[in-house]
Structures are given as C-alpha cells and as structure tokens.
Amino acid sequence: CRAAHSGVRRLPFATLSQQDRDFFQTLLPGRALTDPEVLEASNVDWLKSVRGSSELLLRPRTTEEVSQILRYCNARGLAVTPQGGNTGLVGGSVPVFDEIILSTALLNQVLSFDVVSGILTCQAGCVLEALSSFVGEQDFVMPLDLGAKGSCHIGGNVATNAGGLRLLRYGPLRGTVLGLEVVLADGTVLDSQAPLRKDNTGYDLKQLFIGSEGTLGVVTAVSILCPRKPSAVNLAFLGCATFPQVLETFQLCRGMLGEVLSAFEFLDSACMKLVQDHLKLTNPIKACEVFVTGSGVLSLLILKRALSPLAESPFYILIETSGSSAAHDEEKLHRFLQEVMTSSLVADGTVATEDSKIKALWALRERITEALTHDGCVYKYDLSLPVQHIYQLVEDMQEHLGTRAKNVVGYGHLGDGNLHLNITSPSHDPALLAAIEPYVYEWTARHHGSISAEHGLGLKKRNYVHFSKPAPALRLMWQIKSLLDPRGILNPYKTLPDRASTD
C-alpha cells in the first residue's frame, strides 16, 4: 500500500563515502549501524507505507554527539532524518532516499524532576509511557497521552506537536512544553530549557521547533510541565443513536461536568466492528455488562436501556472525568448520566472507575488505528473541523465513494474538533485515491478546517498544505527553513510544500 514517493526527486545531497562511515564509527563506536537487517526497521514507517534506503543509522547518547553529527553532515552536505519512536503516521520519520537516520533511542535519560513545580526535564528519546510511569510514581501525570505511548518518544511528540487523548484537559504541547534544547543544522546547540512557567524574554524560539517535524533542528531535551495525578477517574462508555445526539451530549456534558471533564472521544459503529473483528475486543454495551462500576453512587446506578440489550449503537462516546474528589465527581457524573438517559440522548452505556476496566474501555478507542492496519490498505486523514460538521464529512465521503471503498470510518477527539477519517481498500487503489483527494481537502477548506490537526504533514500531506495555509505563510515558512538550515539537510522532502509552488 505505497504511493507516497511518487513524484519526489532526490536532491543533490552528497552520498555516503567510506571516509564518512569511518568518521561516524569513530565518533559513535558500536552506535553507527550499517547492517541492512538492523536498518530495515528504521527505513520503514509504522504504517509500512513509506520505505527509504538509508545505509546508516546513528544512535547518539549525548547532545554533544548530536552536535558533532550535524556539524559534519552540514559541512559535507549529507541529508539527515531525525527519528524518535517511528510511530508517525504521515511518512515524516523515515528517509525518502538515502538520508542518514539519526535516532534518539539512546538519548533516554530523565535529567530532573521537581516535585514542587511538576517540571520534568529529560532527554528527547525517553519513551512517553516510561515517562508516565516515572512521574506517576511521584503522583504526577504526563500532560499528553496517545495510543502510541509504548513506542513514541517525547522528542517525537514535541517535533509533531502531538495532540492525543488528554489535550481537552491539559491543552497542547505549545503550552505545557516550557523549554527545549535543540541542535541546529550547523551543530549549534540552542538551549532554551528555561524550566519556568513565565518567560517573556523576546521571541519564544522553542515554539518554532514544536511541530517542525525535524526540519529545523533536532530536539535533544525537553522541559515539560506535569499536572498532579487526579485521585478520582471515571470513564463512561455510551452509545448514541445519531450524531446530532452525540453533539448534544457533548454540549450538555461540558456544562454539567465542567472542570472534571477530561476527555470526550467518539467512534462510529464501523470502528467498533473493526476492533471486534480484527482485535477480538468486546463491545462492552452489547456484551450486556449493563453497568460495571467500582464503588459509591455509580454502582447503584442502573441505566435505562432504551434499545434492545443486544443492539449496536451507531455511535459510541467515551467521557472521562478526572478530579480530586471521588464522591464529588461521581455525583456530577451520576446527574449527567441521569439527564442524558432520561432525555434519551444516550441509548445505552457502561461506567468504570477501576483502573483495569478503564484501560479495557480506552483500548476500544486507542486500538482503532491498529485494527485498521488489518483491514487492508488505509488512507488516513486527520482533520480539524468545526465540531458541528465533523461527521458530515464521513457521511459525504461514504456517499461519494459508494462501493469503491471497503470501509469509510470516523472517530477522534470530538472535544477538540479533530476527526480521524480513515478509508480502507483491499489493496492500493489509485482510482480510489483519486476519488478521495483532493475531494477531502477541498471539503475541509470549504468548512474552514485544517488538513492536519495533530499528525503533521510529513511526506504525505505537505503538498496539500495550501488548502489550510495562505501563500505568504508558506513563503515565510520557507524563509525560516532557509535561515536555520541553509543547505536543507534536515529532513528534506518533509513538511514544506515543493518550493516552486510557493514562489
């Protein structure tokens, strides 16, 4: 299922010489890898949709090593692809041709954690889940969470400005990242690691690197603000008969749950079917576990079943509350659930307060991406849209494609106005792709949306960015790129649209 490379030409970068290999072997003994079998995993992206042919994988341990690598590559004109956990979904993390892969896998040390302020400072290659466990032991949480947490690196999260499942509560990384250490293309180390909540000393340069997808510098360390771990968490998994009811539930939920609302996610029944069919997960509503709860008020609550017990719902929503008082949060959730059930906004549901059950319910949402990979070739769209139009696109696309697609599914971070539209087909189908694009981007532009809400542009979306950004903005982006990376060695062919299209 590959098409992303089409039309991309190799730029006139230098090719790797024996002298270059010797330099890197000396700089990083045992950590400059050339074995094609080892390189295979780093040359291919998570979706297995983009494959490069790099012959060198570098694994620095220190910022100084990253600096020396880039200084050398810049002088030689060798192109470099920074790589974290390689979980990116837009083909940004792997080489397109023979770029050297600079992996952050060994930059994996926590540097400091302040239990008073909650500020964590760590190297860029720390795995998100490991950081979550680390701060969790001290009663804090990471301000972001995503399905790829077991593999993605915090540096990769920063480089993509990842959103994820906690954004509704803690906001984007642009607010929670307090400082960055970045190595520029010429090897200069830019240290803006100020572990301060407030810092108005001129331009906020770190913002340039957040979401720059490895095209402006290599992030080597991150300071990030961690909130206290909420002592009470509840998760409601509810079924709705129509999308307007999902929207009304969202509106009501914001009003009634207020400050304890921490996530509002949705999936359609086609997604539910995919996780059931491909991953053998169970629909908790259909399975008749009418109400699974821990203690307190919720355990007494039996939801009225408006549909027959075995009916599938067309839509499912996950509502998470996080707070510091279990009784208070449960009472709020109780009142909200009563309201949505009696007004028939919600047809059916289940609630969990125990950790293992919460995890099982979250898996239904978090593992949709994985289930999709078992469904054939996946065409993936990550869109921001005004929330009232968010599912209209899925329905329009279903009608537009008819039987040409195997599945057209919608899910996402409804609370953030972020739709994940995924279309599958048994194999790569250029005619299907031509029917999807630019239709999907035109639709998004017409509704004043963004063609990339949280995944970035990478290789796959960069030439569609004009649907969301005006020409002067794109020209300025190229000017910034030229200023910071005049030889263009950092992650070429990614993020920025073809230069000619912006001149």
Enumerate the β-bridge partners of residue 319.
Answer: 236, 264
Provide the token pair at 260: 């304890």
Return the one option of ligand FAD, ligand 2HG, none that residue 172 interacts with (CB less than 5 to 8 A, by type): none
> Which of ligand 2HG, ligand FAD, none binds 444 (CB below 5-8 Å, type-dependent)?
none
Nearer to ligand 2HG, 162 or 333 (CB): 162
User: Min. distance of Cβ 51 from ligand FAD in angstroms?
Assistant: 15
Size of the site for ligand FAD (CB under 6 A): 38
Rounded to whole angstroms, the Cα distance separating 203 from 501 reads 29
The answer to the question of residue 214 lying near ligand FAD (CB under 6 A) is yes
CA distances, 408 to each of 283, 344, 379, 405, 436 (Å): 20, 27, 9, 7, 11
The secondary structure of residue 44, as a DSSP letter, is B
Look at residue 63 and give the partner it binds from ligand 2HG, ligand FAD, none, a contact being a CB closer than 5 to 8 Å depending on partner kind: none
Among 92, 179, 415, 449, binds ligand FAD (CB under 6 A): 92
- Residue 491 engages ligand FAD in binding (rule: CB under 6 A): yes
Tokens of 44: 């291919």
Q: How far is CA 467 from CA 273, 448, 471, in A?
A: 32, 9, 10
Q: Which of 67, 157, 245, 353 binds ligand FAD (CB under 6 A)?
A: 157
* CB nearer ligand FAD, residue 103 or residue 350: 103
219 near ligand FAD (CB under 6 A): yes
Residue 176 binding: pick among ligand 2HG, ligand FAD, none (C-beta 5-8 Å cut-off by kind): none
Contact 211, 456 (CB under 8 A): yes
Residue 454 CB, shortest distance to ligand 2HG, in Å, is: 6
Please tell me whether residue 218 binds ligand FAD under the rule CB under 6 A: yes
Residue selected from 65, 95, 101, 153 as contacting ligand FAD according to rule CB under 6 A: 153
- Rule CB under 6 A: say whether 93 interacts with ligand FAD: yes
CB 150, min distance to ligand FAD, A: 9
Cα 94 to Cα 101: distance, rounded to the nearest angstrom: 8
Site string for ligand FAD, 358-377 (x = CB under 6 A): -----------xx-------
Q: Which amino acid is at 298?
A: L
Element (H, E) at 32: strand 32-33
Q: Contacts for 196-203 with beta carbons within 8 Å, 24 or more apart? A: 197/117, 197/225
CA-nearest of 4, 2, 13, 58 to 33 is: 58
Strands (E), 96-230: 100-103, 110-114, 119-123, 177-183, 189-192, 218-225
Residues 442-471 binding ligand FAD (CB under 6 A) are 454-455, 458
What's the closest the beta carbon of residue 211 comes to ligand 2HG, in angstroms? Answer: 15
Q: How far is the CB of 212 from ligand FAD (least distance, A)?
A: 7
User: CB 218 → ligand 2HG: shortest distance, Å?
Assistant: 24
Q: Whole-angstrom Cα distance, residue 161 to residue 141? A: 18
Q: Taking the complex as a whole, how short is the minimal distance between the CB of residue 368 and ligand 2HG, in angstroms?
A: 6
What residues line the site for ligand 2HG (CB under 6 A)?
89, 147, 368-369, 380, 382, 420, 422
**Among residues 69, 159, 236, 352, the one that binds ligand FAD under rule CB under 6 A:** 159
Q: Which is nearer to ligand FAD, 336 or 411 (CB)?
A: 411
Note every long-range contact of 93-96, with CB atoms under 8 Å and residues 24 or more positions apart, other chains counting.
93/45, 93/156, 93/214, 93/458, 94/42, 94/43, 94/44, 94/45, 94/50, 94/51, 94/52, 95/43, 95/52, 95/53, 95/54, 96/5, 96/8, 96/10, 96/50, 96/52, 96/459, 96/492, 96/493, 96/494
CA-based max dimension of the chain: 74
The CA distance from 63 to 69, in Å, is 10
Amino acid in the structure at residue 204 = D
DSSP-based three-state secondary structure for 190: strand
List the single partner that 213 binds among ligand 2HG, ligand FAD, none, CB under 5 to 8 Å by kind: ligand FAD
> What is the closest distance, in whole angstroms, from the C-beta atom of residue 421 to ligand 2HG in the complex?
8
Which residues would be at the binding site for ligand FAD (CB under 6 A)?
46, 81-89, 92-93, 104, 124, 146-148, 152-153, 155-157, 159-160, 162-164, 213-214, 218-219, 369-370, 454-455, 458, 491, 494
